[in-house]
Structure 1
Amino acid sequence: MVDVVTLIRDRIKTAESRQKSYADVRRRPLAFEIRDHVFVQIAPLKGVVRFGKKGKLSPCFIGPFEILDRIGERAYRVALPSDFNRVYNVFNVSMLCKYVPNQTHVLHHKPLDLLPNLSYHERPIHILDRKVKVLRNKETGILKVLWSNHVIEEATWEPEEEMKQSYPDLFTP
């Protein structure tokens, strides 16, 4: 019985070691210097339940902003503009992306109404397309919706009934 327990422990340690080695290879250390410029990750939230699941659009980055200070090993204080006064200016390194300056970059800073948790609410702007999705014995209307702060390529398909309930003003002529 003791031999079986020892054998199981050895196999578990071997498996843990193998998994750790896979993770270590893929992990890249992120470190920034003071006065570097970075993008900050934000997450747009939608008030729509997509096909029975509450969803978000893909995270995006805003900036670039200058790093003012390093706090600990993995946190940085970032110089945010005054319209982000409700947002705490210390970020984990996982929420930052390095900005590589290029003279041809033209960056437009659109003002966003950010919440303190670095999210903002999405609103539908326009319906681009409509289809009827045929399931086994049911037909469901779906709409291709363009959301605020996103380009046409990021438009999403949403259930028509849920959009009518959540955003009735979108359907008034």
Structure 2
Amino acid sequence: MNQFIEDYVSSCQQCSRKKNNHHKKFGLLKPLQIPSGPWNSLSMDFITQFPLSNNFDSILVVVDIFSKMAIFIPTYGTITALELGQIFISHVFPNMDSNGQTDRVNQILEQYLRILTCWKVSKKLQSVQQVVKEELESTIRRFKKYADRNRKISPDFQPGDKVRLASKNIKTTRPTKKLSERWLGPFGIINKIGRHAYHLKLPLQWKSVHPVFHVSLLEPGKQSSIPNCNQFPPPLVLVEEQEEWEVAQVLDSKLKRGNLWYLVEWKGFSEDPERTAWEPASNLTNSPDLVKDFHSLYPDKPGPTTSRV
């Protein structure tokens, strides 16, 4: 009887969606590979929501994993992936264009340096880097040891297995997060991505949710072994989609930090004093005809061919 009850409760869809788990988090820590030298591997993060200063409200922090040297770059919270790449080129890995005269002077300077180079300093630097590498390895081993105390080896999920997905990172239409279901699904596994991530088969209505998840967000979806134990399918949880406003017309264009922006008027807000706004060109991908009409009327205004790539 105990085995029957345990099997029924553990495979109950209502119970598994509502209850918290009490085991250690799946997935042992997998430290990053130690770089061979400075600036071979970087980490980065944003600090946002600062008071506005010189049109900047955020800081991009870039840290060299080997030397721990950090670069702090002012930016803004609405930065795009293209702008982030441009920041890296200009602040982290600058590669300035040069002319033939500068290259010739560089050759002469290199000749001076060859004569004045102290090889002992170079050898000492190599030994210092080796010591740094050994210390990093020791630190990572200790960190992994402490981190794995609260982790456990993850199940070896296979394609076709059913798993439940933690709802903590899924923004749904439920009015209260506290009373929402803890787990969603079950969903089928399509394949394994890397060592600790899985590609799930999500409902078509979840088109805004990326289907790859870390194993720590998954739980096995146990099926009942009790004969003729049919349970109702789980209700579909509606994911909150991002609202999209419709553009009535394009009024103006400009270049901002080398990127193209458009002044647009929103449809349905004709009486609203905030009916217009400057938007990056990437936000108008669904309004190509309006953009084309604007440039036909104002061919001298900045357009896609004048923006920085």
TM-score by length of 2: 0.26
Which of these two proteins has the greater Rg computed from alpha carbons?
2
| Structure having the larger proportion of residues in helix | 2
| Structure having the larger proportion of residues in strand | 1
